[in-house]
Amino acid sequence: MTASRTAYWREYNRRNAAKKREQYAAFRERNKEKINADKRAARAAGKVAPRKASAVRAVKPPVAKPRTDEGKAEALLTLREKFAAFRAAKSGGTNE
């Protein structure tokens, strides 16, 4: 769509949003029994599964960032060592 058509439909939907909400509400009010019957039928057919409790996720504790210059230097060295070990393991030997 061109920008002007997109802008037109955005404005159209903005102007008519209230009217559309009223129409949906009126439809739901008129067809309340049919909607509820359809919901019951779907539940009875097993199409709507009951909600299960979600599993508790293990949350890793946050790692505190070093605040001092010595701590930052130590963290960088540790990171370099970990990366060197990773490269060595990936290549199958020492990689220095």
What is the pLDDT tens value at each position of the chain, 96 positions in all? 688 899 999 999 999 999 999 999 999 999 999 999 998 888 888 776 667 777 778 888 887 777 788 888 888 888 899 899 999 998 876 555
What local confidence, expressed as pLDDT, does residue 30 receive?
96
- What is the Cα 62 distance to its own chain's centre? 21
Q: Shortest CA distance to 69 belongs to which of 59, 77, 57, 58? A: 77
What are the residue ranges spanned by the domains of the chain? 1-47, 67-96
CA distance linking residue 46 with residue 23, whole number of Å: 31
Exposure class string for 60-80: b at 16+ Cβ within 10 A, else e? eeeeeeeeeeeeeeeeeeeee
- The predicted model scores a pTM of 0.39
